[in-house]
Amino acid sequence: MICRRLAALAVILLPAIASAQTVKLALTGPFTGGSAPMGGSFRDGAKIAVAEINAAGGIQVGPVKMKIEPIERDDEAKNERGALIAQELASMSDLAGVIGSVNTGVVMAGDKHFQEKGITKIICPAAGSKSMTQWLDPKVPDLSIFRFAAHDGIQSAMVVEEAINRKFKKVMVFFDSTNYGVSGRDDMLDQIKKQGNKLEIVAQEKFNIGDKDMTAQLLKGKSAGAEAVLIWGIGPELAAVSNGMAKIGMKVPLIGGWTLSMSNYIDNAGKNGNGTLMPQTFIEEPITPKAKAFIDAYHKAYSVARIASPVSAAQGYDAVYIFAAAVKQAGTTDSRKIKLALEDLKEPVPGVITTWVKPYAKWDPNNVESHEAFRREQVVMGMVKDGAVVFGNDADRQRLKKAAAGTKGR
């Protein structure tokens, strides 16, 4: 009898003991559907980091080494799924943290649950400004949400800067009618004003998700003499724009948000996509040893010749390392203590994008950058060339090479 009771007790206790030995890290994002190239690449990049850390024995948490146990959840890019998943994860008592979300809408629907329970969440790679600015409120003195992505503010500034640098005077502003597209347009208009009104907007047009024929809108831009199209939208429609431009013989560059590097843009636009410019945090070119190792590991692990979304993959990879550094510094899997460590990371974290020195600071409800890791200097301009994204400006390539050589010397 006692024996049986002991056995029952063991059955109840054993998993608890076993789970105490791991760092539970949730990876969320759309792994199916139109946003899957980004969500899937993010997850796969993050899992390479997890595998590397685990292969080395795990994270040093206080006296013991703990392995990372990834928990994957597919939010299908649906807001309501995102909210459900957030609720489920927030109710786990031993969750160390969450990394993920591609879609701004999903972030808006789910993140409040993490904030309520004080669970550390790193948004990656969703870039919409609102995901973080929603917390700019004196009533939020403390925040457990961080972002690891080049937010739209940086991106739109770069898009406008690029158009000015390329000596364009007349531009067409084109955007999709979703939250993402409209807020991207607002950011771009804002930046045009901020950067001295050097661009004249000769046409401002929109399109809907699922639209295939963009001829009418593009013709307005063409007949008004637009020298570039500044665009904010998502893969398939962006491709329809590119193909529409080729059809009416509108040979001007498309410059826009990082979604122009999605594989469903590049594949569907084909040769018409050549010359398209967009901000990128990572280019799939082995210019540094670290980048080469990551790209090779990714290609090998998933048997692909090209990463569907290199930006998402690299960000996922670096985010896991930053999170692991915070766990190590906190010396516990308590999500609140990990948050405090993230806000004050003592050690630099070498990543594939850059070496991260103090990426975050204590949350300041007046300054969203306190929980944003990316600054202008970590972002480069990418360009589509024959089905892949390459450096748009050679100066960026040289700068990164130099920086990598510099950190090695240190």
Contact set with another protein (CB under 8 A): 32-34, 36-37, 177, 205-208, 210-213, 215-217, 219-220, 223, 235-236, 239-240, 243, 246-249, 264, 267-268, 270
Q: Which of residues 123 and 308 has its CB atom nearest to another protein in the complex?
A: 308
Q: Which of residues 60 and 204 has its CB atom nearest to another protein in the complex?
A: 204
Residue 206: both structure tokens together: 């929109």
Question: Taking the complex as a whole, how short is the minimal distance between the CB of residue 331 and another protein, in angstroms?
Answer: 43
Question: Taking the complex as a whole, how short is the minimal distance between the CB of residue 312 and another protein, in angstroms?
Answer: 15
Q: Which of residues 206 and 306 has its CB atom nearest to another protein in the complex?
A: 206
Residue 289 buriedness (CB in 10 A; 0-12 / 13-18 / 19+)? exposed
Question: Taking the complex as a whole, how short is the minimal distance between the CB of residue 263 and another protein, in angstroms?
Answer: 9
Question: Taking the complex as a whole, how short is the minimal distance between the CB of residue 215 and another protein, in angstroms?
Answer: 4
Q: Which of residues 59 and 238 has its CB atom nearest to another protein in the complex?
A: 238
Q: Which of residues 217 and 312 has its CB atom nearest to another protein in the complex?
A: 217
Q: What is the DSSP string of 281-340?
A: S--SS--SHHHHHHHHHHHHHHT-SS-S-HHHHHHHHHHHHHHHHHHHHHTS--HHHHHH
The CA-atom distances, in angstroms, between 203 and each of 166, 236, 306, 398 are 19, 22, 36, 36
The order of strands in the sheet holding 145-147 is 59-61, 64-74, 22-29, 95-100, 121-123, 145-147
Q: Which of residues 65 and 385 has its CB atom nearest to another protein in the complex?
A: 385
**Contact call for residues 124 and 349 (beta carbons, < 8 A):** no
Question: Taking the complex as a whole, how short is the minimal distance between the CB of residue 130 and another protein, in angstroms?
Answer: 22
Q: What are phi and psi of 351, to 5 degrees?
A: -120, -175
Q: Which of residues 248 and 297 has its CB atom nearest to another protein in the complex?
A: 248
Question: Taking the complex as a whole, how short is the minimal distance between the CB of residue 206 and another protein, in angstroms?
Answer: 5
Question: Taking the complex as a whole, how short is the minimal distance between the CB of residue 340 and another protein, in angstroms?
Answer: 40
**Contact call for residues 26 and 71 (beta carbons, < 8 A):** yes
Quote the CA–CA distance of 226 and 334 in Å, as a whole number. Answer: 54
